[in-house]
Amino acid sequence: MTDSRPEGLQQIKHIVAVASGKGGVGKSTTTVNLALAMAQAGHKVGVLDADIYGPSQGLMLGIAEGTHPETMDEKWFVPIDAYGIKVMSMAFLVDANSPMVWRGPMAAGALQQMLLQTQWGELDYLFVDMPPGTGDIQLTLCQKAQVSGSVIVTTPQDLALLDARKGIEMFNKVNVPVLGVVENMSTHVCSNCNHEEAIFGAGGGAALAQQYGTELLASLPLSMAIRQQVDSGKPTVVSSPQAAATHTYKLLANALVLKLDGVAQVMPSISIDED
């Protein structure tokens, strides 16, 4: 049978969009740690940073500013390798301090070029770190690629949940399955007294998942360590392999493998520390 997908995507088994309705909910942090957890489980993984206006994956993966991809046959970008995953981002194509003052169609065209003209090679999973909202970038991805499913990232607060619903509705309209919900900043644990408090509300992610007939895949705390690690270019999964958050990201990765392939991965024995 002839593969009807564009040439650059034919060796990719699953394309997964990681999305949110609004910014600031930890979507990019979730994407990078999920991708690294998948790679550590033995899968071939890529990350496409689809946030044209505010790309962040280069920083999070410790890729030096000013790094540019090589080209192949005057047609293909060669993705940057970071911690064993293949990465492409607008940050590799423009100066870091240059704002992308583009209208929507121009940004959608840039996404299309990165998606279809990157030499991804053989991948089990390509995670697409989506920009906030439900606009041109989201529609372009769904039109140009056979997206296997989406993961919705939210925080428990009502405003984030309102926008997350719009993201779910968008994927429903373009027939992309919603694989589940990840709730970030579920609780905060005081570093002085260890009191745990749901400062953004409680149960919002689970209620959202139930409303749309999907499931809550993971809950992660509001953590200074997670933020510091991605800011330093060493995400939690690689910098703190024994951390509770790393265990959660690995469980998230395993849940997605089960949903997309129906094959359970053997999870390693993990000792949890307190960071």
CATH of region 10-260:
3.40.50.300
With a threshold of 0.85, does the pTM exceed it? yes
Lowest-confidence region among 76-80, 197-201, 244-248: 197-201
Asked if the model's pLDDT at residue 271 lies above 50, the reply is: no
Asked if the model's pLDDT at residue 262 lies above 60, the reply is: yes
pLDDT in tens, 155-182: 888 888 888 999 999 999 999 999 999 9
Q: Give the C-alpha separation, 241 to 247, whole Å.
A: 8
pLDDT in tens, 64-116: 998 999 999 988 999 999 999 999 999 898 776 666 666 777 888 889 999 99
Comparison of pLDDT for 235 and 262, the residue scoring more: 235
Segment 140-155 shows an average pLDDT of 93
Distances (CA, A) of 258 to 36, 37, 209, 217: 17, 14, 18, 12
Beta strands 85-89 and 80-82 are antiparallel
Residue ranges with strand state E in 57-103: 71-72, 76-77, 80-82, 85-89
CB 135 within 8 A of CB 108: no
Asked if the model's pLDDT at residue 125 lies above 70, the reply is: yes
Instruction: Report helix, strand or coil for 236.
Output: helix
User: Domain limits of the chain?
Assistant: 10-260
Segment 222-227 shows an average pLDDT of 90
